[in-house]
Amino acid sequence: MKNGNRVNKLKRGQFISIEGIEGVGKSSNISAIAKCLKSAEIEFLITREPGGTPVAENIRTLLKDRNNESIPEVAELLMMFSARSLNVRNVILPALKSGKWIICDRFTDSSRAYQGGGRGLSMEMVDDLANWVHGDVNPDLTILLDAPVDVGMTRISDRGQPDRIESEKHGFFERVRECYLNLAKREPKRFVVIDANRDLSEVQDDIREIIQRTIDNN
């Protein structure tokens, strides 16, 4: 996690989540968000899901390891929310209460898209878990980086051996992407969809504009 320069003057920090299928450039664009917040002298934390705390990172390792035993869909969902509970209670909520901003690489929309859309689990089940685990602690802004599945898969092929989730078939990621786009249509005030099938500089120009607007409005 990284800190900005000083605590901002807001009573509560802003919660920004970054979403998208594999290979859309979340890590690179999180760096662009961090630079914007640093320039505005807003203190922030970067966290990720699954992960963000030592125990949650251990859960992440189990979920990513393709050599482990088969993980049923429901078990995968519950593990995701177990890690999320740790991240929310031990990192996200304390930071927001102290006035810091949060940049989160994935949050519950990933469970809706991957375990709901991709795995076919009930969206009602996902939403019930979300209400139980983090209640009203939800992103104020969600940036959805969108690119065709073929583009994302080509990009991650250069990373080396794919993990358990990256090894899923094309159809799985098509369902994930479709679910993400449907979520964005359902909550247009929270989601901003950015075309990630462009040069990184163009994508980051859009990112900077969105973040500056968020800063100005708060």
DSSP code, position 158:
G
β-pair partners for 146: 195
List the structure tokens of 74. 């429901």
Domains and CATH numbers, the chain: 15-216 (3.40.50.300)
Q: What are the pLDDT digits (tens) for 19-37?
A: 999 999 999 899 999 999 9
Give CA–CA dist 18/35, Å, rounded: 15
Which contiguous run of DSSP H or E holds residue 152?
Answer: helix 149-156
Q: What are the pLDDT digits (tens) for 39-54?
A: 999 999 999 999 999 9
Task: Enumerate residue ranges in the chain where pLDDT < 70.
Answer: 1-11
- Is the pTM for the entire model greater than 0.75? yes
The pLDDT value given to residue 86: 98
Give CA–CA dist 9/114, Å, rounded: 36
β-pair partners for 58: none
Dihedral class, residue 100 (left if φ above 0, else alpha if ψ from -120 to 50, else beta):
beta
